[in-house]
Structure 1
């Protein structure tokens, strides 16, 4: 039942132009989104909409996951930092693209959510979940080939830019609490360029370099 719904969702994302890269398509076909949402939400797992996961947090809509992963241009073997683990679905999709030689470090502010994510990701050998203030990045494993946030900041946190490798990409929603722009930042030749991928709405990134409170 879930497999057919997942395939139908991926067909929708392809037709709508949200995804096109074969590795992204394959990852979203293979990762079971229903296992990364609360049990009472599983029947909605393959609807193209965000879902609540508790603590006023959400799992992003599949089309937004697709947009983000496509624009990050992830390659096998890269080291990735995710800010805002949620229940781990986004990390699982990226893990499937990275292969065994790549690695995802993902930071979650809520310890209760992080514990659930760790359980759901236990079969993924290339993902580590860490409870911390994601607005400060994760300096101990920097630099990263790609950094992305599943929560919105008022400005791009400086530590994330500092922890990005040369030729790296950083993707983050930036703006007000209830309406943002999805910004893709690239670092090349020690210069920073930014591109606005369009409007979006994410929960706030709370922390030292984010919003001060939820």
Structure 2
């Protein structure tokens, strides 16, 4: 595949963890089989869209350095059963299939209908070695009694917690890998099951798109989405700077007020008029708080901006993998 060998060489030179099995899988699976979009971003070590939903949300295949990093931390062995929460278009499942061999199993749970259809169609054309299946979340009902449990769970979108029904599927000694946190910032956690306990290993800061695709399709003035972002920002900022008690109280009050707004508020889009925007209940609430909130907006912007890591880019003069990884949705 044109460009993949060079990409792998750049990733290795940048210190991205690439063992022989990961390199062989990435060399064997053509990412163009899972997206109709140009692979130019992918070959530049950036995420590439595989689907734009009817709601306008972009679903992406992760940047190659993140793909390799996730596969490395999964500690894959042949013949394991890996559960993917979120399909990433089928590309990750195809890589895992190559690494797991003919006795391996990859089960994909995809909550979004459009993505599920796309993934199913692409994997039908993929010549798999082992067993691949794509299922909706409701298929998990009754799985607790399965004879073959799950060795690894890879969560491909940000979540705050893992559903108990997923945790119940994990074999003792198995683990979950994924981005845990809010919409602004997450931690890549390896959560290993040891008896009745879960042992967490923090692998660094990341920024993934949400597992729940409806969050990406919300209006910019959706009160619950805005409250989630403010709450996440508040937690992140509190770790770095000291926030005055009065400001902290006001922010917490604003978050509560946003969540108490009634359901069914008008949806704004690019065709909304200035009057419609200014008269929107969320905007009215923000404007009432602008005297103290206004000076904070530039600070919010600084914390919301995330530099996308792409250590495998051909333009990197000083490649390296220091710090966390970012995996943004374009």
> With structure 1 as the length reference, what TM-score do the two structures score?
0.87
Aligned match for 1:10, one of 5, 8, 11: 8
* Number of the residue aligned with 1:84: 86
Aligned match for 1:23, one of 8, 21, 25: 21
Instruction: Name whichever structure is richer in helix by fraction.
Output: 2
* Number of the residue aligned with 2:328: none
Q: Which moved more, 1:189-198 or 1:172-181?
A: 189-198
Which consecutive residues of structure 2, in runs of 5 or more, have no partner in the other structure? Answer: 219-330
1:180-214 deviations in Å (ceiling 9; x for gaps): 1110011234432111111111111229xxx7x96
CA contact (8 A) 2:80 2:104 kept: yes
CA distance in 2, matches of 1:183, 1:110: 24
Q: 1:67 to 1:137 in 2, by over 3 A?
A: farther
1:101-132 deviations in Å (ceiling 9; x for gaps): 00000011122222221121122252101122
CA distance in 1, matches of 2:142, 2:39: 31
**Number of aligned residue pairs:** 208
* Number of the residue aligned with 1:73: 75
Q: 1:98 to 1:203 in 2, by over 3 A?
A: same
Secondary structure at the residue paired with 2:38?
helix
Deviation of 1:163 after TM superposition, in Å, equals 1.4
* Number of the residue aligned with 1:112: 114
* Number of the residue aligned with 1:148: 154
CA distance in 1, matches of 2:24, 2:39: 21
Deviation of 1:162 after TM superposition, in Å, equals 1.9
* Number of the residue aligned with 1:45: 42
Radius of gyration: which is bigger?
2
Q: Which moved more, 1:40-49 or 1:149-158?
A: 40-49
* Number of the residue aligned with 2:258: none
Q: 1:146 to 1:33 in 2, by over 3 A?
A: same
Higher relative contact order (CA 8 A, sep 6+): 2
CA distance in 1, matches of 2:200, 2:141: 20
Secondary structure at the residue paired with 1:63?
helix
CA contact (8 A) 2:158 2:180 kept: yes
* Number of the residue aligned with 1:131: 136
Deviation of 1:47 after TM superposition, in Å, equals 2.3
Instruction: Name whichever structure is richer in strand by fraction.
Output: 1
Q: Which moved more, 1:125-134 or 1:182-191?
A: 125-134
Aligned match for 1:160, one of 161, 166, 171: 166
> After TM superposition, what 4+ stretches of structure 1 lie above 3 angstroms from structure 2?
42-45, 133-142
Q: Which moved more, 1:149-158 or 1:135-144?
A: 135-144
> With structure 2 as the length reference, what TM-score do the two structures score?
0.58
